[in-house]
Amino acid sequence: VYCDLTDFNKTFKLIKNNNIDFIFHLAAQSIVENAIKNPRDTFNSNIMGTVNVLEAARRWGKVSGIIVTSSDKAYGKIRRATEKNAIGGDHPYETSKASADLAAHTYFKTFGLPVIVTRFGNVYGEGDLNFNRIIPGIMKAIIKKKILAIRSDGKFVRDYVYVGNVVNACILLSTNIRKLSGEAFNISSLENLSVLELVDRIGKILNVSIKYQVYNRAVNEIPTQSIDFAKIRKTLGWKPKSSLKTTIPVVYDWYKSYFKNFKKKS
């Protein structure tokens, strides 16, 4: 079902007409570079889209819980962030995510809406067709035998967490919505790598040589960022069950199949 979440009436009708019981709100404009180019659209999507989901759930009154997806970027320029750190931002993307994060907290504190906020590291996995993102871009470059374009200087450091680990964490949180409403949880991994380190790691895992060119044109991005997931580990016993080493071959096979089928269709 498609719905423009920036349209409140459509969002409310979707929730009401489908008798929605639980919401995992992951929809967002997620590209930092696009946020610089189109800040208004990013704010509308990430902030008002979230507010519309929260308000529609409040008015419908039959939603038992909501998981709102924020981001590690909501912490701004903090190298190793915990949930105790303040959220905020200097630039459009991180500000949009921090604002959505605060809106979720407001709906819990003011209206008692059962909401949990999740803040992810860089999520990767099958099905991600945004080839401006680093891991999809790497996969495409390998399969198409192209030169990988690195838009930063290659030294930006991020956490990389597999989508399956993220899904498991969100489901676990959803089953504990009553006792954990109003809380925020970091969801990430211990794999904190620069872009160039990531390229090297994936090349070694897949036993391939990845050619790349560094363009160094990224602006207003956080150089080094990592988030601590000790809170969810201590509270619910969650930790990532898989790593780059175990998941990259699976992800690579998915992209090979995708491009093979895409070629047939075209």
Residues with active-site annotation:
93
Q: How many residues does the chain have?
A: 266
CB 156 within 8 A of CB 221: yes
Closest to 46 measured CA to CA, from 103, 90, 3: 103
Q: Beta-carbon neighbour count of residue 143 at 10 Å?
A: 15
Tell me the Ramachandran region of residue 246: left when phi exceeds 0, alpha when psi lies from -120 to 50, beta otherwise: alpha
CA neighbours closer than 13 Å in the CB half-sphere of residue 188: 28
Q: What is the DSSP letter of 126?
A: T
Gap between the terminal Cα atoms of the chain:
25
- The SS3 of residue 148 is strand
| 3-state SS assignment for residue 118 | strand
Q: Are 203 and 98 in contact (CB under 8 A)?
A: no
Q: Any idea which residue has 């931002």 for tokens?
A: 89
Taking residue 27's Cβ as centre, other Cβ atoms within 10 Å add up to 16
How far apart are the C-alpha atoms of 245 and 243, rounded to whole Å?
Answer: 5
Phi, psi angles (nearest 5°) of residue 6:
-80, -5
